[in-house]
Chain A
Amino acid sequence: MKLRQSMAGLHTWGGLLPSWLLFVIIFAGTVACFDKELTRWMRPALHDGVVSSLGADDVRGWLQQNVSEELHAFWMHGPTEREPYWRLGWEVDATKTIHNVAFDPRSAQAEPMAETVGGEFFFKLHYNLHAGDIGMYIVGLAGMFMLVALVSGVIIHRRIFKDFFTLRPKANGQRAWLDAHNLFGVVGFPFHLVLAYTGVAIFVASYMPAAAQVSYSGNVMQYFGEVMGSFEREEVGQPPPAPVSLDALIVESQRQWGGGEAGWVSVHHPDDASAVVDVRRRDRSRIGSPQDTLSYDAGTGELLNRQDASTGYRAYLWLAGLHMAQFGGTLVRLLYLLMGLAGCAMLVGGLQVWLAKREQRGDASVVWVRALNASVFAGLPLASLALLWGNRLIPAGFAERAVAEGWVFAGAWLLVALWSVLRRQQGRRLLREQLLLGAVLALGLPIINALTSDGHLIASLGRGDWVLASVDLFLMVAGLVCAASAWRLNTTPAAAAARGRAARIQEA
């Protein structure tokens, strides 16, 4: 009994305090399952599904013409099924700033598309909260708390098999929410455990850097190079010869691999005679695709190195791959999406149990927790919808367009948070109004999409473009669910009053 009691305390507090943060991480990760589809929706230039006919040399040509600073490196990725366009990124040597550009697939010349944060916004929110290295550490800490909460949760659950199929929505508030929390936690347990563990493992070298720092006397890059079996060479300080064609190197790589697709193509210190071209293989048929990278001399095209990843690194890639769900196509991403939603439901359920318990004791300070709940659980989805509205309504030529989209998201979230705090005493009404707002925002998006681009639902369905149509369809379903929930909340006050206290607990 002693163990169970101490674990109950740990589960309650170790689970409660990071749960709002975990909701942000899990929700963002869930949306990020379909980040590339969302990006396509957010870029009207991609709506008609044209695949870019540019080559790697055209992209490099654009870079040479438009960027004059000396570069540390640049990297590019060709069109794929989910992203039918060229992407380019570069790091300026002097300032270490990183820039990204995506090229319009409809254009015969390299021409950048209007800036947008794209679906990647959610991916970044998922792993570092847009707060750089500090955010990454915060997320890692939250991930470890999630592991603690999962294990302690199993220990304190007395009837894990007996209650496996139990959900009693008509029971009193605390009981019903505890059932829901248990259901989503226990049934989704393998998923939550594996995803929390692999999520923490991805940045393990940053979270636990001591061993590598000591063994390699502070030279961590050497450690990474050796583990990954990648190739580096020092700059020689001489101007480069005329570079060989990147497209030719991609073809050569495919010949070396005996077929297969090229993924990222990167060039290190391109303005130096020591420039190296890395061509990485893209393999979606496995969980941990081996980073089979070929390194060439940028001037002569001579093959310098064939990456040979160590066994440890392969194991790492497998764990990271299992987390990132880039294998198995739409089916796996859909499964991850649904299980991610189950994770969100688990968090919401757990918080409701905590609230219901304290509300029964007549604790007055729970309204603040309820306000926090509303600001996060309603605020984040509403802000995400606002981000998509911003994406459609900010003009294409707007300077720093992606930054503006980010501010729309942040501003909308702050407003919802403020709203939740001001209305903290009227939880039920607040929830209903937030659901209504969600319905309006979500149902409006397919309409605004139709008004501002050619990729509206009827057009995309007519072309059989289910990928693009599914974003609109998902928004419509989400909007209808919000509207139906708001309507139910509106029509049941009499029943709720009869149930008295229990219903008030359920509402927030």
Chain B
Amino acid sequence: MLLLAFALAYLGMVLLCLTMNRHRGVLLRADARLPGATILRLLAAGCFGIALWQGIASQGGEIGTVVWFGLVMLSALLLVLLLAWRAHWVLPAVPVLALGGLLQGVS
């Protein structure tokens, strides 16, 4: 379950990242169309919220929140490191992480 929470936190970070022109140009083609920054930010907040809910559901309120903080921080670190050295891995990493999370949830 928690790999899925990590995937969601990572997706949230990617969405936040896409609101900035500097990074958007690196990640997407120039003619790609995206919703406005406010909508992206709301979607990101939603991702973080669901990740928090998952953490709490699997670990309880206290520990789940601590775990969620850790996952959010690490997802941002992963995103920035990928962005600096392997920018073309940033977007494919979202489905890969989500798939891993789903498989972890099923097994």
Q: Which residues of A contact B (CB under 8 A)?
A: 162, 164-169, 183-184, 187-188, 190-191, 285-287, 322, 327-328, 331-332, 335-336, 338-339, 342
Contact = CB atoms under 8 A, between A and B. Distances in A.
Interface in B1-50: 2, 13, 16-17, 20, 22-23
A165 B23 contact: yes
Contact of A168 (B16, B20, B70, B84): B84
A187 B70 contact: no
B81 to A, nearest CB: 7
Contact of B73 (A165, A191, A322): A191
17 contacts: A164-B76, A165-B13, A165-B79, A165-B80, A167-B80, A168-B84, A183-B77, A188-B77, A190-B73, A191-B73, A287-B63, A287-B66, A327-B62, A328-B59, A331-B2, A332-B66, A335-B70
A335 B74 contact: yes
B37 to A, nearest CB: 12
A336 B67 CA distance: 9
Contact of B67 (A162, A165, A168, A331): A331
B52 interface: no
Given A332-B70, A338-B74, A339-B70, A187 B80 contact: yes
A260 B71 CA distance: 30
Contacts of B20: 162, 165
A322 B60 CA distance: 15
Contacts of A190: 69, 73
Contacts of A331: 2, 67
A332 B77 contact: no
B94 to A, nearest CB: 15
Interface size class of B (residues with CB under 8 A): 20 to 34
Interface in B77-107: 77, 79-81, 83-85
Contacts of B74: 335, 338-339
Given A162-B20, A165-B23, A332 B67 contact: yes
Contacts of A166: 22, 80
A335 B67 contact: yes
Contact of B85 (A169, A184, A188, A332): A169
Contacts of B81: 167
A287 B61 CA distance: 11
A455 to B, nearest CB: 28
Contacts of B63: 286-287, 327-328, 332
A168 B26 CA distance: 13
Contact of A187 (B2, B60, B77): B77
A130 B80 CA distance: 37
Contacts of B16: 164-165
Nearest to A338: B74
A335 B76 CA distance: 13
A348 to B, nearest CB: 15
Given A165-B20, A165-B23, A167-B83, A187 B67 contact: no
A332 B70 CA distance: 8
Nearest to B75: A187
A328 B67 contact: yes
Nearest to B65: A287
A183 B80 contact: yes
A327 B70 CA distance: 14
Contacts of A286: 62-63
A316 to B, nearest CB: 16
A168 B62 CA distance: 37
Given A165-B79, A286-B62, A327-B63, A335 B71 contact: yes
A466 to B, nearest CB: 16
A68 to B, nearest CB: 46
A187 B76 contact: yes
Contacts of B84: 167-169
Contacts of A191: 69-70, 73
A285 B13 CA distance: 30
Nearest to B74: A338
Contacts of A285: 60
Nearest to B14: A165
A344 B83 CA distance: 21
Q: Which of A168, A169, A187, A332 has the most CB of B within 10 A?
A: A187
Given A166-B80, A339-B74, 12 more contacts: A164-B16, A165-B16, A165-B23, A167-B81, A169-B85, A187-B73, A187-B77, A190-B69, A327-B62, A335-B67, A336-B70, A339-B70
Contacts of B59: 328
A384 B22 CA distance: 42
A344 B14 CA distance: 25
Nearest to A176: B84
Nearest to B81: A167
A342 B85 CA distance: 17
A342 B67 CA distance: 16
B62 to A, nearest CB: 5
